[in-house]
Amino acid sequence: MTIKRTGSAEWQGSLQEGQGKVSTASGVLSDTPYNFGQRFENAPGTNPEELIGAAHASCFSMALSLIMGEAGLTPERIATQAEVSLEKGDEGFSITAIHLTTRVTSPGADPAAFEECAEKAKGGCPVSQVLNAKITLDAALED
């Protein structure tokens, strides 16, 4: 089975003065603007790295839910943040790392079993597999 999803972007103008629009086939994003300032100068608005972070956090959370269930653990809540690092190197900018921070509520969960599940999810979620970056994880159970 192959599932295909579509995102698109349009850019007009030079890098620093230009403007772009990003959309998804689902319509969740529809001509959402992005520009140089939003990507490189912390101006308000979205950027590719933020969208990758959201995709990675959501994928990891779903994978962790699946893996915990297979291990007999019941997650009530999984809250994940993905911090994406964009760095300038000799050959230009690249995403060099993503740090996942997840907090999970799972009453009675064995901490060692949970850690094993979290590590499996870190490497096993499809978004982790497609990224060419160092992925680190800080996973903790909460009461």
Average pLDDT over residues 78-95: 94
Cβ-contact 38, 48 below 8 angstroms: no
Q: What is the pLDDT of residue 100?
A: 97
Would the pLDDT of 84 be above 90? Answer: yes
Q: What CATH number does domain 48-142 carry, 3.30.260.10, 3.30.300.20, 3.90.220.20, 3.40.190.10?
A: 3.30.300.20
> Is it the case that residue 131 has pLDDT exceeding 90?
no
Distances (CA, A) of 77 to 59, 61, 64, 140: 15, 9, 11, 12
Residue 106: pLDDT above 90? yes
Domain ranges in the chain with CATH number 3.30.300.20: 48-142
Per-residue confidence (pLDDT) for residue 133, from 0 to 100: 78
**Helix, strand counts (H, E) of the chain:** 4, 6
CA distance 37 to 133: 24
